[in-house]
Amino acid sequence: MRSAGSGSVRDSEIWGRVARALASGGEVCLVVLVDAVGSAPNRPGARMVVERQGPPAGTVGGGASEHAMVEAARRLLDGRGPAVELRRLRHHGDEGPDASGMICAGSQRFVLIRLGAPDLPAVTRIVEPLERGRTVRLVLAPEGLTVEQDRAGAPALTFDPAGWRYEERIGRAETVTLIGGGHVSLALSPLLASLGMRVVVLDNRPGLATMEANRHADERRVIDYGEVARHVPRGPDSYVCVMTAGHRHDEEVLAGLVELPLRYLGMMGSEAKVRQLRARLLERGVPEEALDRVHAPIGLPIGSDTPEEIAISIAAEIVAVRNGMTPAR
């Protein structure tokens, strides 16, 4: 299962806030949504940080359930309760001790954990890998918060209710490579970053203004498109959007990537351009089944024309693929 992270607030911001509070001698309460059944706001992995005063950072879904968790977190910070607490909310109206008052018909479980100065070393073990684009495993249990090395092949998120133990990969293992650093790439990068994805922009044009202006990309590289495959990670966490400055570059890039094991490969262009490039690549011997996996024209069909609209359509398609859905075309 994929972690939802913290909504529009990056992990680096959440954990950085925790580290700063603990380093100054303060305390915070970390609230993590660890389990959800049926219809309920947000998904496991959502989290927020609550301090004694001020708004929380992050979100676990908003509404009545989040309000209840903020109040519970502040009670923990006031010393009214254990340092670690597993709480359940049932969204079936107002009846019962666990009732949230919501009528979604689902239920959720949250871990609330009070963190203080003794937890700073563990939190630092989260912050430092985040700054380097690496991943670690967050472990929450009745004993408190610990951090472990990430394990290859381990699920992104697990919750064992027996005795209870929650594990989550922290860090952005998912990478979106945008090949072409123009206006759509510039508009798309902040959307992808807000989804907790690592963004890498590649282009073959030195000094490109839109690429230099892209402050939401984690990396920006000028490359030779003939060597594009060297710059793209493989595997189920790798997403690629082809949006170069011309159809010849698109063909060159697509030929280099189309048979790689990627989670998502999309190409920007009109229906006519897509048909022409497909025919040319088939003539070059690219297998038809490989071309069938390419999302082209890229993005969901929402009538988009401007760079901002196109970016939204692409981000929506990536979210659909990420969540295991087959986007309608």
pLDDT, tens only, 131-140 = 777 889 999 9
Phi, psi of 288 (to 5 degrees): -60, -40
Task: Write out pLDDT tens, residues 280-305.
Answer: 999 999 999 999 999 999 999 999 99
Give residue 181's pLDDT band: very low, low, confident or very high (50, 70, 90). Answer: very high
Q: What is the pLDDT of residue 107?
A: 81
Q: What is the percentage of the chain residues whose pLDDT exceeds 70?
A: 90
Among 239, 233, 232, 200, CA closest to 216:
200
Q: The domain 175-322 is classified under which CATH number: 3.40.50.720, 3.40.50.1000, 3.40.190.10, 3.20.20.120?
A: 3.40.50.720
Among 301, 298, 297, 262, CA closest to 276:
297
What does the pLDDT average to over 53-64?
87
Give residue 52's pLDDT band: very low, low, confident or very high (50, 70, 90). Answer: very high
Cα separations in angstroms, 264 against 157, 232, 280: 22, 12, 21
For residue 224, what are its two tokens? 């030779």
Place of tokens 């301090």: 51
Judged by DSSP in three states, 95 sits in coil
Q: What is the pLDDT of residue 132?
A: 79
For residue 45, what are its two tokens? 């992995």
Place of tokens 């340092």: 83
Rounded to two decimals, the pTM is 0.73
Residue 103 has pLDDT above 80, yes or no: no
Sequence ranges of the domains in the chain = 11-128, 175-322
What does the pLDDT average to over 70-74?
94
Judged by DSSP in three states, 97 sits in coil
Q: Angle at CA 45, nearest 5°, toward 43 and 49? A: 110
Residue 39 has pLDDT above 90, yes or no: no
Residue 8 has pLDDT above 90, yes or no: no
What does the pLDDT average to over 144-167?
91
Judged by DSSP in three states, 212 sits in helix
Phi, psi of 57 (to 5 degrees): -105, 130
Q: Which helix (H) or strand (E) holds 89?
A: strand 84-90
- Is the peptide bond prior to 190 cis by the omega test (within 30 degrees of 0)? no
